[in-house]
Structure 1
């Protein structure tokens, strides 16, 4: 009887570890770039923050949670009863495990994001949802970077004297 309970407990521990690991994966932050974005042209527009609010990005189930939940539930159910009863329990617990596993995966894969409303210097108003809980100030000047299917909103860079700009572009050996 003891080994019949240990096996399902190990299966549940495996389910929990896989679901927790997938729950830690998220979208890249607004200040992170992927390798394929390097050296890619982006357009830049100046604007001002009109409004922002924190939102949640809905989780996307890959089916892994449901599959692991069904397997674990079936393992637990098969350890309850004998013969035909164990088979019926395995099926019922497998279905319940699939439902619970799918819900857990969905919840763990949700991420935080920020919906921004920006008035561009051209007068147009645009909205975009960016990953992470960002805190802007209403009226804050920003840069809207777009390209390769991405749009980012980042704080405007402070103005620099022309000499500082040139020295940051031209290598010291060329001066």
Structure 2
């Protein structure tokens, strides 16, 4: 005998997973550091902002959204019919849920960003893209360009 999940249980599970997806993304804002970046020496250079261009940072496509969507889709499919029809509904639900979960993850983790073009004191020019944050920048503003292990950030 196969027990079916009530529709409200499937809906509750879907809402719980959807609410947790934005928490999976890490920020790429200039004023956000990962735990691993703390207590590390960083190179600081000074420069002047020459240009600011708004950009869109694409969302992540990890397996979290795909797997979560597939599980939820399969669970939803298990509530349909019985026998062979139910098995087909589980498979179809898992495939559709996986596709929808991947799309949802990408959409939920997109971010607005800035491409900051900075002329360093040594004359070199750099363009650095970082997620938009509460920090504000203006053309002509003196800024710090902070570098550590190939990661650059601009800070007022």
Q: Aligning the two structures, in what range does the TM-score lie when normalised by the shorter sequence?
A: 0.7 to 0.9
Match of 2:145 in 1: 144
Give, in whole Å, the separation in 2 of the partners of 1:36 and 1:62: 21
Residue aligned with 2:96, SS: helix
Write out the 4+ residue segments of structure 1 that deviate beyond 4 Å after TM superposition.
none
Residue aligned with 1:19, SS: helix
Deviation for aligned residue 1:40: 3.0
Structure 2 unmatched runs, 5+: none
Match of 1:18 in 2: 17
Give, in whole Å, the separation in 2 of the partners of 1:68 and 1:37: 30
Residue 85 (1) aligns with residue 81 (2) = no
Residue aligned with 1:16, SS: helix
Deviation for aligned residue 1:126: 0.6
Match of 2:103 in 1: 103
For the pair shown, the structure with the greater C-alpha radius of gyration is: 1
Q: TM-score, normalised by structure 1?
A: 0.74
Deviation for aligned residue 1:73: 1.4
Match of 2:117 in 1: 117
Deviation for aligned residue 1:145: 1.6
Deviation for aligned residue 1:59: 1.9
Q: TM-score, normalised by structure 2?
A: 0.81
CA contact (8 A) 1:142 1:153 kept: yes
Q: C-alpha deviations, 1:77-110, integer Å up to 9, x for none?
A: 2222222111112211221111101111121122
Residue aligned with 1:55, SS: strand
**Deviation larger for 121-130 or 29-38:** 29-38
Number of paired residues?
Answer: 152
Give, in whole Å, the separation in 1 of the partners of 2:76 and 2:142: 57
CA contact (8 A) 2:66 2:97 kept: yes
Q: C-alpha deviations, 1:24-63, integer Å up to 9, x for none?
A: 3431542243444444332222211111123232222221
